[in-house]
Amino acid sequence: MKYLIVGLGNIGSEYINTRHNIGFKILDALGNASNISFEDRRLAYRAEYKFKGRTFVLIKPTTYMNLSGKAVNYWLQKEKLSVDKLLVLVDDVALPFGALRIRAKGADAGHNGLKDINLSLGHQNYARLRFGIGNDYPRGGQIKHVMGEWTDEEKASLSERVDLTIEAVKSFGTIGIASTMNQFNNR
């Protein structure tokens, strides 16, 4: 059993601690906790994580957020995986900070990374885990908020929320999307 877990984000030191890079942050935390490291491969940083007889191929696209679909499509084909084995980790301003929302499919909700994946795959029928980054910003301030760094208050509970997200990723590969949704949505 093999799964492709895609953490969305942007490459470059200026993006490392931004809210938009939560997908990268989650996979980095999983890698650090498991003593695995990412290698620079075609269109993505790639690592493999083994858990309960499953192999999780972890990728962080190097195509930048708005072109994530190219990397997702390539790695699905390279690993010979169907889209039901795909989980995309993404930030979401519509959810309160740290809230998780897992769906088996759905619209892009204005997220450019998901838009590009939908375009590349030709559909939106793949699982995604949305990590809430909140919408506490003034009118017209969404880009600054999304591309901004975590506040001290957010940092205080960020690692706990990231750890919960890692458990949801493992759950996706072991008990499936429906049970994972029941167990982790709105936690």
Q: Where are the alpha helices (DSSP H) in 4-148?
A: 22-34, 68-78, 112-121, 142-146
Side-chain-side CA neighbours of residue 92 (13 Å): 21
Asked about 111 being catalytic, the answer comes back as no
- Choosing from 20, 111, 123, 145, which is the catalytic residue? 20
Nearest to 177 by CA among 105, 124, 79, 122: 105
Instruction: Quickly list DSSP for 135-151.
Output: --S-TT-HHHHHTSBPP
Closest CA to 170 of 21, 33, 40: 33
Beta carbons of 101 and 132 less than 8 angstroms apart:
yes
Q: Residue 82 is encoded by which pair of tokens?
A: 């169907």
Contact 186, 100 (CB under 8 A): yes
What amino acid positions are annotated as catalytic residues? 20
